[in-house]
Structure 1
């Protein structure tokens, strides 16, 4: 067993655990054959998101860079070079102040982004479940006493995780179904087959024309969404079709579409919020407690 010096103090303990979570996730993925690439901080293209945020862009020599909301497009392009990639990617999403009290939102956060060439959704589900078990065992080994002091519900999740279909849950519980299911759950579970209107154009449309081959991982005990991901659209004409359905302007994604014309492979992947994972493991009230220099929506911070 590796000896880890554990200092006294809640913030110090949380940061030690967060550091270990990051380290072990990276080590697990390397053992799985992944290569870590450097993050993209600014780019002419970034995730359009399925909800509005304030503009975060920089004018530069007559052009415009956007601060990265997620590296979704860069991940698709990166797997042309290497079949399995991951990034600890800083994301900037200038959320409106109505999200200041959710406990789940920051305007600056870090996401473990991963992508696999020629993968299917089931490949990602299996990978993430095994990674969570590995990482939680590591945390239990090195910080078990401290974690249980903060989080009496902490346990190693059993696999496979339960899968819940979005539309079936919506029909049974109504629009607040995700919160209801999260509060009643005692282990993480997958929310799958999310309707097309709830996601962006890059998630692959299923054969039914209504739902996507994607998923969210939901934490139990009311902690909510942990992970979003799925299979990607990769055909140029199909991407244009999906943009039309979402009302996205192709000219806003010119750089991406030019690369798609050259060819991108089928892929699947996901993004994992590091602060949300730390919050769940340590039973924190807010993701703002999961890092130094946290920036809550609607507030200024150093």
Structure 2
């Protein structure tokens, strides 16, 4: 008898198979027991009919507790009533490991309780579906960039300086030197782009930012492409093609998971390039018309501002050309204005906020040197980066996409903490 995964059942209709599974839930109606089984690849209902199985098998089905592990044998049959489309007519049960007083029951639990039991909460159907969506976005990311001639590069996690020039860094000691956990691999990716043309990184980043919003994590994952011989407008095209690709991949390959999450597919189906683009100036004017008198030219946008702008569109929207004063030192000035830079934030629909930040990078040596001085950055720490503007510099652009915000948006998760297996939040380092 072949041992298979639940996800492989469609290939084995009418066959007797064996699966390793945990009991997610169960119910019975006297002579029939319905077992909700999961094995990591999916969920399936196992039906145990008292008249069709030995007495000890039915007794085991009635006695097992939630999250007990077992080997289950049975015949795969089609079931149109199931979202999965199949069920297992159980003929045998072999208990592997009992579960005793499993803390997360089918009743409602508070968020803090669930977060304290995140190591177990991941087993639930909704959290499983979000992790599957996350995995598909990761798979589609590699597919997109590998298919377009990008080379994967891994920048260091321990750095001696800050790419953004902020103080929101986690400090540590690197033997007798000061070091920081990386908040972005961008500067290193620019160096890699000068060697390999088109590159991307995919790794963890850290922000010591004391934020408690549903959009913020302390540790999160970033996809950061950098492209040589690429101007800002060209980078925007890559960004919208990339977002369209990952959304399309989730729609094509995660239909079951999106159904479990109750996601409105029509909203995702509208995510097609090109995306609308408005300038920062136009965004300020729009917000004033909408009654946001608190925002003035030169201010950065908060969550309410981004949400108001996003609600005006049915797909992600680029806000371009932010004021120079509120953006990092490395961004290329606008050719016709000295008060704004060639940059863009991509705002996701439905209130999920900024998912991409990007810009054209400065490649003029004197201007880069000036910017480093203006931002009071340590010239020695940035000497290697400055040298990139001296040794065969070219126009180049790049961006960073925050994975967890993107997962939250595409899956429809209420909070970004559900879009990463073990979230690190302002007051949470456990489990």
TM-score normalized by the length of structure 1: 0.90
Residue in structure 2 matched with residue 198 of structure 1 by the alignment: 326
1:27 aligns with 2:143: yes
1:178 aligns with 2:178: no
Q: How far, CA to CA, are the matches of 1:110 and 1:286 in structure 2?
A: 16
- Distance 1:209-1:253 versus aligned 2 partners, 3 A rule: same
Residue in structure 1 matched with residue 126 of structure 2 by the alignment: 10
1:232 aligns with 2:361: yes
Q: How far, CA to CA, are the matches of 1:62 and 1:270 in structure 2?
A: 33
CA RMSD, 1 decimal: 2.0
Q: CA deviation at 1:263?
A: 4.7
- Distance 1:29-1:156 versus aligned 2 partners, 3 A rule: farther
- Distance 1:154-1:109 versus aligned 2 partners, 3 A rule: same
1:293 aligns with 2:409: no
Per-residue deviation, residues 75-130 of structure 1 (Å, max 9, x unmatched): 1111121001011021011111xx11x11111100000101001011211111222
Q: How far, CA to CA, are the matches of 2:156 and 2:412 in structure 1?
A: 31
Larger radius of gyration: 2
Q: Which moved more, 1:201-210 or 1:139-148?
A: 139-148
Q: How far, CA to CA, are the matches of 2:42 and 2:393 in structure 1?
A: 46
Match of 1:63 among 156, 174, 177: 177
1:221 aligns with 2:333: no
Q: CA deviation at 1:184?
A: 3.7
Q: How far, CA to CA, are the matches of 2:42 and 2:394 in structure 1?
A: 45
Q: How far, CA to CA, are the matches of 1:172 and 1:139 in structure 2?
A: 32
- Distance 1:171-1:156 versus aligned 2 partners, 3 A rule: closer
Q: CA deviation at 1:39?
A: 3.4
Structure with the higher fraction of residues in strand conformation = 2
Q: How far, CA to CA, are the matches of 2:227 and 2:180 in structure 1?
A: 25
Residue in structure 2 matched with residue 129 of structure 1 by the alignment: 240
Q: CA deviation at 1:289?
A: 0.3
* Unmatched segments (≥5 aa) in structure 2: 1-6, 9-40, 44-123, 289-294, 296-303
Q: Which moved more, 1:255-264 or 1:31-40?
A: 255-264
Q: How far, CA to CA, are the matches of 2:179 and 2:270 in structure 1?
A: 42
Per-residue deviation, residues 148-201 of structure 1 (Å, max 9, x unmatched): 443213324122100011112113314253231123432101110111012100
Residue in structure 2 matched with residue 155 of structure 1 by the alignment: 269
* Unmatched segments (≥5 aa) in structure 1: none
Q: How far, CA to CA, are the matches of 2:158 and 2:198 in structure 1?
A: 23
Q: How far, CA to CA, are the matches of 1:236 and 1:248 in structure 2?
A: 16
Residue in structure 2 matched with residue 47 of structure 1 by the alignment: 163
Structure with the higher fraction of residues in helix conformation = 1
| SS at structure 1 position matched to 2:269 | coil
Count of aligned residue pairs for this structure pair? 295
